[in-house]
A and B are shown apart, each in its own frame.
Chain A
Amino acid sequence: MAEIQIKGIAKSFGAFKALHSIDLTIADQEFMVLLGASGCGKTTLLRIIAGLETPTQGEVWIGGRRVDRLPPRERGIAMVFQNYAVFPHLTVLENIAFGLRMKKLPQPEIDRRVTRTAELMHIEQLLARYSGQLSGGQRQRVAVARALAMEPDVILMDEPLSNLDALLRLEMRAELKGVLAGSKTTTIYVTHDQVEAMSLADRISVMNAGRIVQAASPVEIYRNPAARFVGSFIGNPPMNFLPATRTPDGRWSVAGITLGGPAAASGKLEFAIRPEDLTVAAGGFDAVARVVEPLGAHTLVTTEIDGALFRAVLDSDVRINPGDRLSLVPKPDRIRWFDPETSLAA
């Protein structure tokens, strides 16, 4: 059982505040992804949980034990590093056995675990090799096997797939998901790749500028962004935004059409809609198509509404040419509203 609790963790590097008082609870056996652009603090948070970085403030609890003063080796964690950190002077076998030898486990137990994890990661034929003789993908497998062999309470992964080529990344992603689900450990996975985050996570914590903006399931994050940042960061293409002003009858006027919305205190809101939640029909936004990109299943149309960029993902049998005027109607149940003052969902 290893629930992770992060309580008020803050970290400053000199005058720069990398993390502003982070609170987060990760359930036992949960797969939590920390997602954010580079420099948002996600790796710093992971390294604080690992014990490779000391927090300026706050506490880290793993499995009901406060660990923020303990060295990494006493925290019951294993880690997969971005550059793998597979020891070049040891064979694959010795790399996987490294942590087990440090724990002074009996040799039969070491053999059992090395064999099991090597089979799990499909590297049993590579055990005698050195890392210099392995491809990037194989090194990645060794790094994961080394972590799994520890049978840890928590596995921490720092952008483990970022150095692999696209095809391999796809393959490893699916495999990691299966392997980690089977291992019943709590996983914290850092990435800047939202597709990776969506496909792997039980829950995603979207981070921005040293804060967790939203921590929720992938679908929730996608459908109900808690802040404008989440909507603009998640989704490819991201959400569309348009300014909205309140009409005298309490409805909202958005780019020439009037929509029902929340009863906000201020007279201004921001209307938001995902590009795929638009249909071409009468009575919608008056948009001028600028770029048309057929993507097979869908066609991505970049339009202009009142001088602002506005994207729509339309069915690919819709015939649109650049310069065409079209009327885009948002699906009413998919419309989201943000307060421009706080950037939070209204």
Chain B
Amino acid sequence: MNTRALPYLLLLPATLFLLVFFVYPFVQVAVQAFVGPAGFTTDNVQTMVKNFRFWPSVRNTVLLAAIVVPLQLVMALVMASIVANLKSARNTILYIFTIPLGLSDLAAGIIWLAIFEQSGFLNSMLVSLGVVDKPILFLSYQNSWVIFVAVLLAELWRATAIVMVILVAGMGLIPKEYYEAAEVFGAGPWKRFLKVTLPMLKPSLQTALILRTIAAFEVFSVVQALGGTTLPVLVGQTYDWQFNQQQTGVAAAMALVILAISIACTVFFLRVLRTPKGATL
């Protein structure tokens, strides 16, 4: 066997897989978005942008991601620190924290719907406690910010654990000696977190942030369950164009917008959380 060709040969299956299932569909989507019956066209993009729900959907999605991801990051860091420092019952706590990960996002949305509905848990509780006389309609188009908050809560509840799991794994990789050195050289618990844990967790933070941010821009089922189209988001709009409006070209254009945002975020995190050469473990 020619040893020079071997690496490429070994890469071939994965490359083929990527070409067939990623690059080809991507090109297809791009073609659908920009090619009309008369060749190249920006009609689809124009239709997309002119739609009255487009900018709200961009705003809602970006706002959701901008609030959810940082909150999840902070919560996950706290949770991971707790888990990493546990001496006993570590696995039990870890399992409890990760229960929401076992549910599909639609199921998670429905759980939170059951809480916020007019006949839901929250209303029953408020009524039985005598806080309100009759059930309140939380999830209405009149106060879409409540839907926004409900989606926010559901997302925090559902997807914080995945960030935590990545961070717990990352924290496990940091040798104990660095903490001891920091301790001896004067760092208290908070300084050790800032000066040892955070910087040495950078690769894990990078992975977690990229995964979580991309997922946050693809939020759909939870929003669908809690607000339908009252709270338009990007993927919801894509679905709407494809299946309700039957406009595949516009849906493809929407998909490209989501793709662009995802790529931009990935590049951003790769750059911002870059580790200098030689500064790895």
Contact = CB atoms under 8 A, between A and B. Distances in A.
Contacts of A77: 184
Contacts of B187: 73, 102
A73 B277 contact: no
11 contacts: A52-B180, A52-B184, A71-B188, A72-B184, A73-B184, A73-B187, A78-B184, A87-B181, A87-B182, A87-B196, A90-B199
A79 B195 CA distance: 18
B172 interface: no
Contact of A146 (B175, B185, B195): B185
A131 B199 contact: no
Nearest to B186: A102
A129 interface: yes
In the A-B complex, list the 5 residue pairs whose CB atoms are closest, starting with the nearest.
A102-B186, A99-B185, A132-B278, A130-B278, A85-B181
A102 B185 CA distance: 7
Nearest to B187: A102
B279 A85 contact: no
Contacts of A87: 178, 181-182, 195-196
Interface residues of B, number: 25
Interface in A78-104: 78-79, 81-83, 85, 87-90, 98-99, 102-103
A132 B279 contact: yes
Nearest to B196: A87
A230 to B, nearest CB: 31
Contacts of B280: 88, 132
Nearest to A91: B279
Given A130-B279, A132-B277, 18 more contacts: A50-B180, A50-B184, A52-B183, A73-B188, A79-B184, A83-B177, A85-B177, A85-B178, A85-B180, A87-B178, A87-B181, A88-B280, A89-B199, A102-B187, A130-B277, A131-B278, A133-B277, A146-B185
Interface in A130-144: 130-133
A77 B276 CA distance: 31
A73 B187 CA distance: 7
A89 B177 contact: no
Contact of B183 (A71, A89, A131, A132): A71
B143 interface: no
Contact of A73 (B183, B200, B281): B183
Interface of B: 175, 177-178, 180-188, 191, 195-196, 199-200, 202, 275-281
A102 B194 CA distance: 12
B278 A129 contact: yes
Interface of A: 50-52, 71-73, 77-79, 81-83, 85, 87-90, 98-99, 102-103, 129-133, 146, 150
B74 to A, nearest CB: 21
A253 B202 CA distance: 72
B278 A73 contact: no
B186 A73 contact: yes
Given A83-B175, A83-B177, A88 B279 contact: yes
Nearest to A53: B180
B176 to A, nearest CB: 9
A306 to B, nearest CB: 50
Contacts of B180: 50, 52, 72, 79, 81, 85
Contacts of A131: 278-279
Contacts of B186: 73, 99, 102-103
A82 B196 CA distance: 18
A79 B199 CA distance: 22
Contacts of A150: 185
